[in-house]
Amino acid sequence: MESASADRSFEKSKQGSSLSSQRVGMLIALVIAVAGIAVITLAVLARDGDGPSIDPAVEELIPAKDAVSVPVQSSVTIDLQDRPQYRISLRINGVVIPESEVLFSRSLNRLNYIVGEGQTVEELRPGRNCAQAEFYSITEGPGAARSVNWCFEAL
């Protein structure tokens, strides 16, 4: 009898240990999943660097918002979502950049301005520079214009 009782106790202990191992495994999987979600969220926030204040149509700003050590002979770029098509205008440090001086890829909604000799802005000034892009969907028109502002530090 003692042997049968000991066997049952051993089996219960073995089952409890198995359940405990399963719970530990599930807990570890849950912790890994939560950590993965946190890492992805932080990566997205770090990439944007802008938090929730940036317009959702903006895919990329170059130089990035709050970038430091930007060369004074850099380009300034705004990249919007591919759809819908947008009209985009750019100002750098309050100076309007003429359409004739920008490279605009209509299919990508990407406007690029290369500062340089003979351009409206020949170089970024050392220190803080700010850009403003105004854009609107071609289908909605200028009445639906939105803008994004960003600043960066040039050397």
Q: In the prediction, which pLDDT does 12 show?
A: 55
Q: Where are the domains of the chain?
A: 1-48, 54-154
Q: DSSP letter string over 56-118?
A: TTEEEEESPTT--SB-TT-EEEEEE-SSS-EEEEEEETTEEEPGGGEEEETTTTEEEEE--TT
Q: Give the pTM.
A: 0.66
Q: What is the pLDDT of residues 78-106, one digit of tens each?
A: 999 999 999 999 999 999 999 999 999 99
33-80 confidence digits (pLDDT tens)? 434 343 333 333 444 444 446 899 999 999 999 999 999 999 999 999
Q: Which CATH architecture has domain 54-154?
A: Sandwich (2.60)
Q: How confident is the model over 3-18, as a mean pLDDT?
A: 57
